[in-house]
Amino acid sequence: MDTLFVLINMVVMVGLIGLLFIMQRRHVSFSKRVFTGLGLGVLLGILLQVAYPADSEVVNTTTEWYNILGRGYVQLLMMIVIPLVMVSIIQSIINLEKSADLGKMSAWIIGILVGTAMIAAIVGIFTASIFNLDAEQIEMGQAEQERGLALEERLGDVENLSTPDKILSFIPANPFLDMTGQRSTSTIAVVIFSVFIGIAVLGVRRKKPEEAAKFTEIINAIYAVVMQIVTLILRLTPFGILGLMANTVAGTDVAGILELGKFVGASYVALIAMFVIHLILLGVFGLNPFTYLRKVLPVLGFAFTSRSSAGTIPLNIQAQRNSLGVHDGIANMSASFGATIGQNGCAGIYPAMLAVMIAPSQGIDPLSFGFIAQLVIIIGISSFGVAGVGGGATFAALIVLSSMNLPVALAGLLISVEPLIDMGRTALNVNDAMLSGTLTSKIMKKLNIKTFNNPAAIEKDTNI
């Protein structure tokens, strides 16, 4: 009987895939197809929640099959991340008018990423205070106890990594190992290796222009092929979001959300507040935030459902280049750096809220100037080095809480709502990466305003 129900669920999914395929054949806009996939995924997930009991074997088996569509799409994106980052950055440096621009690009991008992470920390601090969040209000069950103990065990590894060690982990000792994505800092390591290649080509161009021209021709050809692969994969975005969202909603712990609803609500208030600050920053720099918002929503929709900043890099770069008019080199760097540095949601808001919740239990006033100043500075530093230990928000929390001499077990208490909050955090992280690229392009006068103001630019240029 279980097999029959699984087959019925599969038939429903195939029918929804067929609907999205028909929309694609009829040239319905990419944005509409993305949000149709998201909406259908939510409805399908709710249907599975209502139709079957909790921990149903039917749901477990169904979501395993749905993962082929959802997680399979994420893996395709991860497949192209390293080739895309490497070839794009090399080509961008080769085409730079001035080699000095490279340093300015990097400084502005990293500065914006880390600066907004520190602002996000302040937002997290005051949101937790306004909602009167307190660690003692959360009950600890067996799963939470086990998670808390596991985090305390892993704390030793995190504490042993100093900030210089984290920075050293960015430097590629074996670039071919990093091309396999084996390290948490592999993406940044590949960026650094690619920058060296690009700079070397500029040097060769001055001494042996013919050899440099041959290399440039090869890179341009590879770049064209890689971008075509990206376009092919991005056409699958609505289908991938359908599978991801269906599984996310079907596997959501409703009881856990109800129990920790106050923390979930406060988290999303903080995330939305920081997102509004991003839009305000765009306005300060003379860019229309509503135009920007319309352009980035499909990318944020995927980031929200996939919970993968790295997996969103190809969409991030495409949106910046083709929809926002960001300079190629800046788009590549901001998307790559933004996947691991200065993450506003994971490294800014989340650890700040946990610190405020825990501080009273240690006899500390979380609204004292000394506590806030120390917390913001530590978050700013750790948001740059959090990639050195990998693990996203959890490791960011471990670094910040241990640096503030606060217990880390609270992160284990939030295990039931972690996926739901992580969706919003990832979307904010990705938006910050796009924001840094857009503002850096504007500051360096490399932003194509005509493309930025063209509402159909991304769909027309990528043919998706």
316 band by pLDDT with thresholds 50, 70 and 90: very high
Average pLDDT for residues 284-292, to the nearest whole number? 95
406 band by pLDDT with thresholds 50, 70 and 90: confident
Q: What radius of gyration, in Å, describes the C-alpha atoms of the chain? A: 22
Cα 30 to Cα 35: distance, rounded to the nearest angstrom: 9
166 band by pLDDT with thresholds 50, 70 and 90: low
Residue listed under structure tokens 């609204």: 367
Determine the pLDDT at residue 381. 82
Cα 152 to Cα 144: distance, rounded to the nearest angstrom: 12
**pLDDT 10s digits, 32-90:** 898 899 899 999 999 998 888 867 888 889 999 999 998 898 888 888 888 888 888 88
Cα 362 to Cα 353: distance, rounded to the nearest angstrom: 15
Structure tokens at 291: 């135009």
Domain ranges of the chain: 2-462
Determine the pLDDT at residue 389. 42
Q: Specify the pTM.
A: 0.81
Cα 205 to Cα 207: distance, rounded to the nearest angstrom: 6
- Least Cα distance to 440 among 366, 345, 318, 332 occurs for 332
Domain 2-462 has CATH 1.10.569.10: no
Cα 360 to Cα 338: distance, rounded to the nearest angstrom: 33
Q: How many CA atoms lie within 13 A of 275 on its CB side?
A: 21
Contact 318, 85 (CB under 8 A): no
Region class of 7: left (phi > 0), else alpha (psi between -120 and 50), else beta: alpha
Q: What is the mean pLDDT of the chain?
A: 84
Average pLDDT for residues 216-233, to the nearest whole number? 89
Average pLDDT for residues 306-312, to the nearest whole number? 83
Contact 114, 383 (CB under 8 A): yes
Vertex 442 angle, CA 438 and 444, to 5°: 115
pLDDT of 151 over the 80 cut: no
Contact 134, 353 (CB under 8 A): no
Least confident of 38-42, 139-143, 163-167, 445-449: 139-143
Average pLDDT for residues 26-33, to the nearest whole number? 86
Residue listed under structure tokens 């500029």: 202
Most confident of 9-18, 197-206, 405-414: 9-18
Contact 334, 444 (CB under 8 A): no
- The full 3-state SS of the chain, as one line of letters, equals CHHHHHHHHHHHHHHHHHHHHHHHHCCCCHHHHHHHHHHHHHHHHHHHHHHCCCCCHHHHHHHHHHHHHHHHHHHHHHHHHHHHHHHHHHHHHHCCCCCHHHHHHHHHHHHHHHHHHHHHHHHHHHHHHHCCCCHHHCCCCHHHHHHHHHHHHHHHHHHCCCHHHHHHCCCCCCHHHHCCCCCCCHHHHHHHHHHHHHHHHHHHHHHCHHHHHHHHHHHHHHHHHHHHHHHHHHCCHHHHHHHHHHHHHHCCCHHHHHHCHHHHHHHHHHHHHHHHHHHHHHHHCCCCHHHHHHHHHHHHHHHHHHCCCCCCHHHHHHHHHHHCCCCHHHHHHHHHHHCCCCCHHHHHHHHHHHHHHHHHHHCCCCCCHHHHHHHHHHHHHHHHHHHHCCCHHHHHHHHHHHHCCCCCCHHHHCCCCHHHHHHHHHHHHHHHHHHHHHHHHHHCCCCCHHHHCCCCHHHHHHCC
Determine the pLDDT at residue 411. 61
Determine the pLDDT at residue 276. 97
Percent of the chain scored above 70 by pLDDT? Answer: 85
pLDDT of 146 over the 60 cut: no
